[in-house]
Structure 1
Amino acid sequence: MKLSADLKAFEKRLGHSFERPDLLVRALTHPSMSSPTREDNQRLEFLGDRVLGLVMSEALLKADRSAAEGLLAPRFNALVRKETCAEVAREIGLGDVLKLGRSEMMSGGRRKQALLGDAMEAIIAAVYRDSDFETARALVLRLWGKRVSTVEADARDAKTALQEWAQARKQQPPKYEEIARDGPPHQPMFTMSVTLESGERAQARAGSKRQAEQSAAKSLLDALEGKSA
């Protein structure tokens, strides 16, 4: 199989030249484009999730040889979650080469977090099957970059931390409110606010309510911690 120019360019961004180009094509094929003669990326996604998990488990154990499981688990979750996979996918322009059906393409599928995250996992599996685990591990660690060494901050659940902050000061739990929803129906953006009983407030905007709430909570936590520093 001969790759198109755009897939050749993606190979360069990815940093892996496929001996079996069909694996790359399959990893980029969303179920909306599957057919009896064209496999989608779901089975590769399943495998890639496990390869990614093993790579990150090893990396975290190596990075902190004394950390207990209770500390390692949230760090691991932060590194392998769909949001992180989608971030990496955006950095290498994966969305530009996704093979989507017309309905998914019209609904903004190239920018959807779930699709990008799934495809990134499928790409990891494709590299693993095209070569070996060592090659896949090297690729993952290179693409994830500083995330492994800075994961402690990302692993913190801001909403939980803010609630604990309020409880420690005998306040009611923080209140979250949707301030605005805009953007096209297939890709809405949410602006959420969080308010403490003592009056402190922050807001944030993201592609999902959960993300916006987490960002607002983190913003407020940072402000509160800055005051007490």
Structure 2
Amino acid sequence: MLRSTRAGEGGPPQFRERARDDGASRGRWRSPASPRLLPGNPGSRHDVLATDLIDIVQKLLFRDERDLLTIALQLTQAVRELHQKGVVHCDLKPDNVVVQMDDEGRPQTVHVIDFGLARPFGGKHKPRKTLRPKEWYCRCYYSGDELCLKCDMPGLGSTIAYLMEVMHKIPKERREILAMTSEPDHDQRPGTEHPSAAPSLTATET
């Protein structure tokens, strides 16, 4: 199980503003990524170099929008694999996602990291009160209710919406993703096993 090697820098709202500022002041530019070293899979002799999703978006370390779609779809698959193991991550956000790139700078594998808040299906967090709930946390995180797999959907949806912010053609889909994944009622949210977990993404690939 992969864990973050450094503390997070914040969540989607803060990073959206910074990404917009970077884009407005610097235009589309690329700089060398600052990859982090992740432990390899059990039995592997090699560690994995991966780039923070925040760096990919802020420094525009992608070739075109197809790369962002690939990351969104692979992220959905990574979360699905966690759920198949009965794990609820509870803290999905852009700075808890890293991407392994190939030699041509294309996304190869997406990793979810930082399992400090993760719980097994049916587990609970200690109830807590806040005046400013984070949009990527399910209400169950604050209420102390039993966690289900759909508790990860607000975080998955906001992370995909963050990716879509630097795309120019699908603002409507971005709003739909945020609306569906942030439904208060778990039963109204899509799950990672359902095609609507990443609505319209595959349809935009041509």
Q: What is the TM-score of this pair, normalised by structure 1?
A: 0.28
TM-score with structure 2 setting the length? 0.31
> If you compute each CA radius of gyration, which structure gives the higher value, 1 or 2?
1
Higher helix share: 1
